[in-house]
Structure 1
């Protein structure tokens, strides 16, 4: 399958380039695109791709590929709309968009949204075990803790090429457009702290929202949200799960924390399923699933077993995209699932605003 990569920054260089290089049995990258010609050349050189662009419209018009992989930061809504309208299949990194309106404007087409943790072997095993326990009805609580150091520290090993050749006025214009989209989501008068809660929810916590969608279904209600510390700071979110039990998410940006760590624990009446994720930028670093189980009514009697698989989640996701485009196998997240996460993030921002007497408008109102 012939691919075009749009966005040649950190995740492309650290993750997608090495994976696509070793999966030439499935993919050939025939074009790359980035606002920075420096980055486009760096990725093009590594993949042996001659066609390099700095404008999406020109890339789409020239064609010569079957699918587009959207890997740049921020909202992907308009770029995905253009690619689908041109008839290409699309794999889009999260978040799909910053507003519900962007999702509503998408034409029919083949769209898969990339939440690689959904494809993690440990997550899939936890889903199987939860189903054996009775599914969402068996859940007492889901508890998430994310300890998030700086991106620079997580990527220090990767020796990334940096972009220093993009017109500052163009960057300013793009930032203004992003802010306008957030205003459409939250209202023009939304404060910086509400915007930060929304940005973190869609940019990072959305991974945990995507896991909730798989394990229990998206929460229909947010009971409590708080945020503290210098932005992006710390954010706490809790509420009822749609079938049974409650969830709690605690997300902390700790710039100098020694290593990224994300823990997701599902508690049920007979034990727990605990997932511990390493930094997403480390290839083939396994997620650990710890299964805690006991004998009913016998205190102190039970077992604690660890399960690991070094299969790379991003690689499984790429293979799933290949199967989606060529064989019609549905992805784990399409436009509707991505929209659920946008709605949940808006509920999170709105709950924080209401609790603190701050204005909320736009779609989140």
Structure 2
């Protein structure tokens, strides 16, 4: 059997395991077919005010006065209830945990985030709700969380995002919405997130970005839009992102990538357009990216073309990748000199 055939069989087998096995486990989870036991006989409270309740049968956040007979857990600062059976998070469940700063409730059964759920927990800095079944975030779900720094909503079932839900999160720095089913980014969605640094929207179904969708994100440094359904992308839509450093758009359906206005992104140093259908990048586009250092164009239509004379003038560009099935071109530029190196490769990616 050839090496290529072995690789293909391995990939197929792993894909089948990922498609079938986790689904079977998830179907049995928290049912009578699965004997769900906690990893430990009861929640464990660490010496640093951490409460560990992972792998439990809890369907709601436990009452801090009833976990132990002899003491209360009201002074807990960090709660971990991952891979359990939580179906909701309410204000009544959390109001006794007034000192909580970190809440991790990933891989549960939560479907709706209720309004005001965290309104008594003003010290919260990090919330992780990855891998739930959240389809709806009610208005004011995050009200009062003025100190929240990181919010993880990855791998849920969110189809749309309303900007009003973020109105209290003026200090949020990291927002992860990857691996949902979002199709459209509406005008003003992130308008309240003026201190946001990282925004991950990869692995959704985004095919429309309305004008003003990224308005207000003046501190944003990293934007991930990979694995969506975008066909064209005009960087003018990012005009508010004056501090943007990294933009990734790989695995879309991009045919056109342009910058129609005279905006200059002076801090943008990395763009990844790999695995798209982009055929041409104009010199005028590249001239508006004076700090560009890394440009990835791997596996686009044939070889995405840029005019060689401009590459020689682009003093900061030191790596540009343009791989196809049979060959690749690597462009190295240092100072006023450019070196174009053609490499014959066997590429199995």
What's the TM-score once normalised by structure 2's chain length?
0.28
Greater RCO, 1 or 2 (C-alpha within 8 Å, sep 6+): 1
What's the TM-score once normalised by structure 1's chain length?
0.27
**The structure with more helix, counted as a fraction of residues:** 1
> Between Structure 1 and Structure 2, whose CA radius of gyration is higher?
2
